[in-house]
Amino acid sequence: MKLSDKVTQNILYAMPRVAVSSLYAPIAIVQGIYAKHYSLALTTIAGVLLFARLFDAISDPIIGYLSDKSRIKSGTRKPTMILGAIVLASSGYLLYSPPNDVSALYFAFWFMVFYLGYTLFEIPHLAWGGEISHGTHEKTQTYTLRTVAGYSGLALFYSVPLLPIWETTDITPETLEFSAIVAGLLLLPLLYFCMKQVPDGNCYTEEESIIDISDKFSKTSSKQLSNTVKSVIHNKPLLLFLSAFLFAGSGLGMWLGLLFIFIDVYLGLGALYAEIALIALVASILGSLVWLRIANALGKKSTWLWVMLLAIAAFAYTGFLGPENTGYWALMLLSIAFTSCFICIEFLAQSMLSDIVDYSTWKFRTYRGSTYFALYIFIYKAAFAVGGALGLALAGWYGFDPSSSSQTESAITGLNLAMTWVPILLVAISMIFIALSPITARRHSIIRHRLDAIAARSKRKNGNPQAYDKGTTKTLLTAPQACSKTPKTVV
């Protein structure tokens, strides 16, 4: 490959996301499939969706915290990602190919197991991206390639219904089962090359004084957990970031959770869904390179604000669509606009959070990469769960029935509220928190410079633990090398 070693490494790091994302793609559709083909009520699905996702989201910070501890102890995140991939592939197949007499309990159980597998893979993989990257622009490139790989997996999923082996281009239970098998088989080689070729990366770890042996084991797990909590609640950039994503995710989740039902049931254009989604994905993946250049030129915060304005415009556009005035190109325009928003928001958020991890490492003298990304995944899931459940419930309360061939005026009003006006309000609130984000490219370069200075001092004192001054803080940083069980250098 005529690429730099760094670009090649980033590509190999990102590739498993193709299969993982292809497995994850039907999550936005599966509730419509269960309602339409298995006759589960919308209100029942909304309750299951809210319970399963929120219950799963609670486990995210726990998995993130344990992933950081495992990373420090073993020096790698790879075993956790391998376990997560196995659970994800097996539970995905069972979730997407249920029996004909499927119950709400079956749906809830495999939904929860599916998200457990996804979390076990996703959180370490997200943190790993920041560990193999250094500067803010380098992080943006890494997470852009990761996002492109993820949306390529979505494109793979939406190409399945277009294969000539099916009688229709609709997304059906048969196409869901087939796509789960394809993604599971694809995951094996991609995961193998990623685990084999991509290094563990660099991270900082907190260590105790090695002078006083009585201090060596003084910090208990509860003390470590307390420090972790403090590094979250006293972290202004992190709290602003999570607040912004909570409101933005809730608004986007309301719209996305009803999209398949909106197109298939209300507009009656379900046969176009897969084709339009696939074309929009391809166009948006190519457009991600443009977003990358814009982010490098304007900064991540400004770019995110512009993307939110585009999302608000798309919400408003949705409110004017109906069976009488919606055709192929109207849906195509809507799909491209929203897919572009999702792609840009994903890589910008992950890159910004990686910058916040560096800030927290310097300020609080602790490395908590997986913990912070776990909080991000927690907010991501919780926001989309609440948004998706609220959208479905709101449409259901107004009388919208996916199994009916016609809808009342009240039902259409509820659908418009759930897909247009409430999401606009939520996204507008999120823009306030985005605008208050304090970390810029210049400030991140200062943070990295200070972390590098710590590493340089650590190297100069290598092999000289007596240089440690017990009058200074006992929370130390190792050099930014691969974490090991017994770090050799301290500051």
Instruction: Assign residue 94 the CATH number of its domain.
Output: 1.20.1250.20
Q: Do 151 and 285 meet the contact criterion of CB atoms below 8 Å apart?
A: yes
**What's the pLDDT band for 213 if we cut at 50, 70, 90?**
very low
State pLDDT tens for residues 9-20. 889 999 999 999
Q: What is the pLDDT of residue 83?
A: 93
414 domain-assigned: yes
406 domain-assigned: yes
The 3-state DSSP class for residue 9 equals helix
In order of 110, 171, 314, 327, the CA distances from 334 in angstroms are 32, 19, 6, 11
245 domain-assigned: yes
258 domain-assigned: yes
Its sign, for the CA torsion 13, 249, 301, 318, is positive
Query: Which of 52-56, 267-271, 346-350, 398-402 has the highest average model confidence (pLDDT)?
Result: 346-350
pLDDT reading at 348 higher than 70: yes
Question: Does 367 or 253 have the greater pLDDT score?
Answer: 253
Question: Does 445 or 201 have the greater pLDDT score?
Answer: 445
The first and second tokens of residue 244, run together, are 């912004």
With a pLDDT cut of 90, the percent of the chain lying above it is 18
Asked which of 66-70, 185-189, 278-282, 425-429 is least confident by mean pLDDT, the reply is 66-70
pLDDT reading at 476 higher than 60: no
273 domain-assigned: yes
Integer distance in angstroms from the first to the last C-alpha of the chain? 40
Q: Do 77 and 70 meet the contact criterion of CB atoms below 8 Å apart?
A: yes
**What's the pLDDT band for 141 if we cut at 50, 70, 90?**
confident
* Residue 264 identity (one-letter amino acid): D
The first and second tokens of residue 165, run together, are 């082996």
190 domain-assigned: yes
- b/e string for 436-456 if b means 16 or more Cβ within 10 A? ebebebeebeebbeebeebbe
In order of 68, 156, 193, 267, 456, the CA distances from 171 in angstroms are 39, 13, 31, 16, 56
**What's the pLDDT band for 223 if we cut at 50, 70, 90?**
low
Residues in the chain: 491
- What residue numbers bound the domain in which 93 lies? 5-211+229-452
Question: Does 60 or 359 have the greater pLDDT score?
Answer: 359
State pLDDT tens for residues 289-339. 888 889 888 888 999 999 999 999 999 999 888 888 888 888 899 989 988
465 domain-assigned: no
Residue reference for tokens 């993130």: 64
DSSP letter assigned to residue 480:
S
Q: How many other C-beta atoms are found inside a 10 Å radius of the C-beta of residue 485? A: 8
Q: How many other C-beta atoms are found inside a 10 Å radius of the C-beta of residue 200? A: 18
Q: What is the pTM of this model?
A: 0.71
The mean pLDDT of 102-111, rounded to a whole number, is 82
The mean pLDDT of 48-59, rounded to a whole number, is 73
Q: How many structural domains are present in the chain?
A: 1
476 domain-assigned: no
The mean pLDDT of 376-388, rounded to a whole number, is 82
Q: What is the pLDDT of residue 225?
A: 64
Which residues sit opposite 206 in a β-bridge?
477
CB neighbour list of residue 289: distance below 8 Å, 6 or more residues apart: 144
